Amino acid sequence: MSTANDVELAVRVAAYRRRRWLRPKYRSLYMMLIPGFAFLLVFSYLPMAGISLAFFQYQFGRAIWEMPFVGLGHFDVLFGNPEFWRAFRNTIMISMGRLIIEFPAPVILALLLNEVRHSGLKRTYQTVYTFPHFLSWIVVVGIMNGLFLSDGVVNQFLNVLGQPRVPFFTRGNWFLGLIFGSSLWKTVGWSAIIYLAAIAGINPELYDSAAVDGANRWQSMWNVTWPGMRGTVVVLLILSVGQLLNAGGGAAFDQIFNMYNPAVYSVADIIDTYIYRQSFQRGVNFGYSTAVGLFKAVIAFFLVLVVNRAAKLVGEEGLF
């Protein structure tokens, strides 16, 4: 008899829980979710449905079911297209370059700033380094023009020294230097903030006991500061690996699109700039560029999953 009662109770509890979301308290919370999720639905999930375009021949002014179905035809073209593979290779190369050049820079900057004992001075430096982050890439390209165009101040300087002018914007390797350099200039101070925050979270007593043990500055940096920020460095490293197919973050398109030109396509044309040109500058081959976008999105998504798993394997929190 007590079993029957228990069962009845359990059923009631389950029913109660099942209908929990209907309670008035939650009803108004769900109402609050409507605007945000409406935006997600329209601007994120509806376009995902549009991926089906990748399997059709796009025709302006027609509904998708009226367009000719081409199956994997666009992907056939894509995989046989050397221009696509060039963009693919460039994207990976630029990402790698960023990992080697741009990733360590803010870590080092944070370590250096942490060694400044005068807090006002430290803040002044930070104020200077962080400012360029807030400028648009258009403004930064303008600033780089002033420095590196053929009549820019750097070339004036080379000219005064009797050196030949350097075509920074139109010669492959110089252009890559400009890409990495301008990114560093714009973002290094901003990126250092998160590492400084990690350092600020270190227990000061650790430094005191290191000093008691006779550690010099280098030793306490290596044995106290670095272990305290290592977790943050690993997470951000993993995040940037996840961005491999973006040539390093969403800003890469803003930067490269506004600086590149046909003379440097061979090293600087990335997947996103390729997609843009295919879509809007060479007729409207929307089916094909949707296919390119899909190819990229799928690989990038699996990359994020793999990287997230890797983060958990090395004992970090992961992204989700």
Burial call 81-109: b when 16+ CB within 10 Å, e when fewer: beebebbbebbeebbebbbebbbebbbeb
Is residue 26 within the footprint of another protein (CB under 8 A)? yes
Q: Measured between alpha carbons, how far is 84 from 297 in angstroms, rounded to an integer?
A: 15
**CB count in 10 Å sphere of residue 123:** 12
132 touches another protein by CB under 8 A: yes
**Under rule CB under 8 A, residue 316 binds another protein:** no
Nearer to another protein by Cβ, of 66 and 118: the residue is 118
Report which of 185, 182, 156 is spatially closest to residue 169, judged by C-alpha positions: 182
Site for another protein in 75-104 (CB under 8 A): none
Q: Does 214 bind another protein (CB under 8 A)?
A: no
Output 3 or 281, the one with its CB closest to another protein. 281
Q: Residue 131 to residues 21, 28, 103, 188: CA-CA distances in angstroms?
A: 47, 42, 19, 10
Q: Does 48 bind another protein (CB under 8 A)?
A: yes
Given 204, 214, 262, 283, the residue binding another protein (CB under 8 A): 204
Contacts of 72 (CB under 8 A, 6+ apart): 55
Helix axes 226-242, 172-200, angle to 10 degrees: 140
Among 127, 203, 209, 219, binds another protein (CB under 8 A): 127
Q: Is residue 29 involved in binding another protein (CB under 8 A)?
A: yes
Is residue 170 a contact point for another protein (CB under 8 A)? Answer: no
Is 189 one of the binding residues for another protein (CB under 8 A)?
yes
- Give the one residue of 68, 142, 172, 227 binding another protein; rule: CB under 8 A: 142
Residue with Cβ nearer another protein (7 or 200): 200
